[in-house]
Amino acid sequence: MHHGSESSARQELPLGRRIWKAVRRAGIDAGIFAFFLWFMSLARYDLAVATPHYFGIFVSSVLGFATIFAGEFWLRLRGRYARASADELIATAGVITVACGLIYLVSAFQPYRPLVPLSSPVSAAAMTLLTIAFVNWLRSGLRYRRRSRSDSARLALIIGAGAHGQLALRIIREDPREEYVAVGLVDDDPNKRHLRIGGVRVLGTLDDLRDVVDRTGAQSLVLAIPSLAPQRLDTILAFAGEHNIDVRVLPELDGVDIRRRKVKSSSAVALMPGSFRGVELDDLLGRQAITTDVEAISDYIDGRTVLVTGAGGSIGSYLCSQLSRFEPGRLVMTDRDESGLHATELVLTGSASLMSEDLILGDLRERRFIRSLISDVKPDIVFHAAALKHLTFLERFPAEAVKTNVAASLELLEACRDFGVENFVHISTDKAADPLSTLGASKYLTERAVAAVARETGHRYMSVRFGNVLGSRGSVLGTFVTQVSAGGPVTVTAPGATRYFMTAAEACELVLQAGAIGRPGETLVLDMGDRVSIEDLARRVIALSGKSDVEIVYTGLRPGEKLAEARLARTEKDERPNHPLITQVPIDPVDLDRVNTLIEMVRGSADLDAHSIRRMLGELVGTSTDGWPALASERGTP
């Protein structure tokens, strides 16, 4: 999604060339001001200037030129503003104001008369800014006109005529590296029909897309509508695939989605170059971006020692990236997957030396390692993301679910309790709500263990529950992409199967928010929007690939799998006292002695069969195993 490194490489110029460009542009702006100051002063004297006045005009012009040149050179060398943007013009106005102030200051010390007429610097400043603005406008217009006549230009139709559509249009018009020429906009707001934005007309609504494309000859569609409904996106992708039209998307701005804040038109440069990207899997959800209380998150992260378990995994790695933005005093990452830790360090630091003391390789299933880890690191906050999460594997090997998801989590909790850790956030799953699977039961049992230790200590120990994460390892979307790339078939469990989905960014931001507002012993359940049909999602992935001959095959529900996941158990209430997207659920603590008995039995008996382990799990979480589909091997069938 992000093009930061690529863009930087393309934008960075050699130092000598940057200095020359800064000198040239600063000299032009300073020269324009000096010319107008001279001209306005002469005009004020009716072109009849005595020799003493020439000296004053000369001194003022030199002073103004030098001040503006120095200020403009510094601003342009640092590359603070986009060329020809409103921000650049405002910065130039600031430099010119300083120059005028210096001229007036020097004039104040003249015993008889000012260096120049008092109106001249102000008039010169106004004329200079008008000239610069006109030249920039003229240059931009000529460049865009040349591009529109070029054979290589792609005719683009912008979908969306709101703030995002205007931003997309501004990018197309102002970035010399963009290959697009805007031929029109479409928007579902009927009041915008025939509206002109930057000289480009709104030609209709999305329902008129076929007709508008035929009339304009558009070769590309630029999506500039935040949270476009999935059904609308399906229609657009199908139409684009049918007519061999490229679909591009207005991406994120400065790493934060532009939907989350007001965007100044001059901020368009932040997206240049390579401003538009292709449609990605995240776009298939079509949801509004979430909002978080950044100040509340910062208050409990800033300056603290934070430990993340499972830091090499999909969620753990992204969580570390998000945490680093809030400047913890120390961010310690642990995992037993050395390759995962290597990848996380590379993302966070740009290096992969593996020499940092904040990277700790170890297995949370080893009690000695856990206690050594907590006693050495002395974390203020622990985010526990390490877990086994593949439903089918854990149905086949429930002992592994107990050893990792339950035993390791409980021993980590006890170590945190013993060493005085005040904040503990356990990453759970929506499968823990009325669990029918070993995965769900093991995570719900851990939620109850967290509640038990929270009640014992009074510390802010809590769980956070959410569903499938787009792009994570093992995600159904990743499976679909692989299957489509191979030509199919795409396997779907059942026609009516639905799941909750979130992007990694949504999940991690709400995990951090939950950590800021959660109370001891609670499970915080994230609002993941509406359930998404697995079949519809598969069809969107196929449409996104541009292939039309990929078959969908139904495999049936796997053991422990639900047709539709739920956010909350039937007995849990949807109460959101602190955040509109976070439900806070009190969890009944479990008897930890009973949990330890289960752990000892699983660890100590090699003869304990999978069905018995699942039955004991069900008893502990209060769920009957009668609803758990038996594995084929247990039914005696091949």
Structure confidence by residue, pLDDT tens digits, 447-463: 999 999 999 999 999 99
Q: Is 126 found in the same domain as 197?
A: no
User: Domain for residue 426, yes or no?
Assistant: yes
Percent of the chain with pLDDT over 70: 81
User: Exposed (0-12), middle (13-18) or buried (19+): which is 593, by Cβ within 10 Å?
Assistant: exposed
User: Domain for residue 627, yes or no?
Assistant: no
Q: Would the pLDDT of 37 be above 50? A: yes
User: Which band of pLDDT confidence, cut at 50, 70 and 90, is reported for residue 267?
Assistant: very low
DSSP strand pairing (330-335 vs 305-309): parallel
Q: Would the pLDDT of 31 be above 90? A: no
Averaged over 18-27, what is the pLDDT? 80
User: Domain for residue 228, yes or no?
Assistant: yes
Q: What is the pLDDT of residue 429?
A: 93
Q: What is the pLDDT of residue 489?
A: 92
Q: Is 336 found in the same domain as 204?
A: no
Quick one: how far is CA 74 from the chain centroid?
A: 32
Q: Is 211 found in the same domain as 120?
A: no
pTM: 0.67
The DSSP line for 346-390 is HHHHS------TTEEE--TT-HHHHHHHHHHH--SEEEE------
- Show which of 245, 279, 313 is a domain's final residue: 279
Residue the block writes with tokens 């069900």: 618
The Cα–Cα gap between 96 and 130 comes to: 13
- pLDDT one-digit tens code per residue, 418-437: 999 999 999 999 999 999 89
Averaged over 294-314, what is the pLDDT? 90
Helix (H, G, I), strand (E, B) or coil at 180: strand
Q: What is the pLDDT of residue 112?
A: 59
Quick one: how far is CA 333 from the chain centroid?
A: 21
DSSP strand pairing (498-499 vs 532-533): antiparallel
User: Domain for residue 633, yes or no?
Assistant: no
Q: Which residue has the higher pLDDT, 565 or 307?
A: 307
Averaged over 546-569, what is the pLDDT? 86
The Cα–Cα gap between 49 and 58 comes to: 12
- pLDDT one-digit tens code per residue, 106-162: 887 776 566 777 788 888 888 888 888 888 777 766 665 655 555 556 788 988 888
The Cα–Cα gap between 241 and 247 comes to: 9
The Cα–Cα gap between 619 and 595 comes to: 11
User: Beta partners for 533?
Assistant: 498
Q: Is 161 found in the same domain as 139?
A: no
Closest to 544 in 3D by CA, of 490, 494, 586, 620: 490
Q: Is 224 found in the same domain as 190?
A: yes
Q: Which residue has the higher pLDDT, 372 or 178?
A: 372
Q: Is 597 found in the same domain as 470?
A: yes
Q: Is 157 found in the same domain as 141?
A: no
The Cα–Cα gap between 578 and 252 comes to: 27
User: Domain for residue 289, yes or no?
Assistant: no
User: Domain for residue 5, yes or no?
Assistant: no
Q: What is the pLDDT of residue 2?
A: 36
Lowest mean pLDDT among 262-276, 312-326, 620-634: 262-276
Helix (H, G, I), strand (E, B) or coil at 462: strand
User: Domain for residue 260, yes or no?
Assistant: no
Q: Is 373 found in the same domain as 489?
A: yes
The Cα–Cα gap between 552 and 381 comes to: 45
Q: Is 577 found in the same domain as 455?
A: yes
Averaged over 464-482, what is the pLDDT? 80
* Tokens read off for 344: 């996380």
Q: What is the DSSP letter of 267?
A: G
Q: Which residue has the higher pLDDT, 292 or 144?
A: 292
User: Which band of pLDDT confidence, cut at 50, 70 and 90, is reported for residue 377?
Assistant: very high
Here the CATH number for the domain that contains residue 157 is 3.40.50.720
Task: For residue 333, give Cα distances in angstroms to 345, 450, 471.
Answer: 9, 21, 21
Q: What is the pLDDT of residue 633?
A: 45
User: Which band of pLDDT confidence, cut at 50, 70 and 90, is reported for residue 276?
Assistant: confident
Point out the residues that are catalytic: 431
Q: Is 123 found in the same domain as 27?
A: yes
The Cα–Cα gap between 611 and 29 comes to: 81
Residue 116 CB partners (closer than 8 Å, separation 6+): 37, 41, 44, 56, 57, 60, 103, 107
Domain total in the chain: 3
The Cα–Cα gap between 413 and 424 comes to: 8
Helix 86-108 to helix 15-44 angle (10° resolution) is 50
User: Which band of pLDDT confidence, cut at 50, 70 and 90, is reported for residue 587?
Assistant: very high
The Cα–Cα gap between 595 and 599 comes to: 6
User: Exposed (0-12), middle (13-18) or buried (19+): which is 116, by Cβ within 10 Å?
Assistant: buried
* Mean pLDDT, all residues of the chain: 81
User: Which band of pLDDT confidence, cut at 50, 70 and 90, is reported for residue 621?
Assistant: confident
Q: Would the pLDDT of 277 be above 80? A: no
Q: Is 461 found in the same domain as 393?
A: yes
User: Which band of pLDDT confidence, cut at 50, 70 and 90, is reported for residue 3?
Assistant: very low
Q: Would the pLDDT of 62 be above 50? A: yes
Q: Is 246 found in the same domain as 202?
A: yes
Q: What is the pLDDT of residue 417?
A: 96
| CB < 8 Å & 24+ apart, contacts of 113-117 | 113/56, 114/56, 115/56, 115/57, 115/59, 115/60, 116/37, 116/41, 116/44, 116/56, 116/57, 116/60, 117/40, 117/41, 117/44, 117/45
User: Which band of pLDDT confidence, cut at 50, 70 and 90, is reported for residue 50?
Assistant: low
Residue 502 phi, psi (nearest 5): -140, 155
Residue 201 CB partners (closer than 8 Å, separation 6+): 184, 185, 194, 195
Lowest mean pLDDT among 46-50, 578-582, 594-598: 46-50
Averaged over 158-171, what is the pLDDT? 84
Q: What is the pLDDT of residue 206?
A: 86
User: Which band of pLDDT confidence, cut at 50, 70 and 90, is reported for residue 384?
Assistant: very high
Residue 298 phi, psi (nearest 5): -60, -35
Q: Which residue has the higher pLDDT, 13 or 509?
A: 509
The Cα–Cα gap between 357 and 39 comes to: 66
Task: For residue 27, give Cα distances in angstroms to 21, 24, 68, 203.
Answer: 10, 5, 8, 44
Q: Give the domain extent around 121.
A: 15-145
Residue 554's H or E segment, with its range, is strand 552-554
Helix (H, G, I), strand (E, B) or coil at 564: strand
Helix 409-418 to helix 367-377 angle (10° resolution) is 40
User: Domain for residue 4, yes or no?
Assistant: no
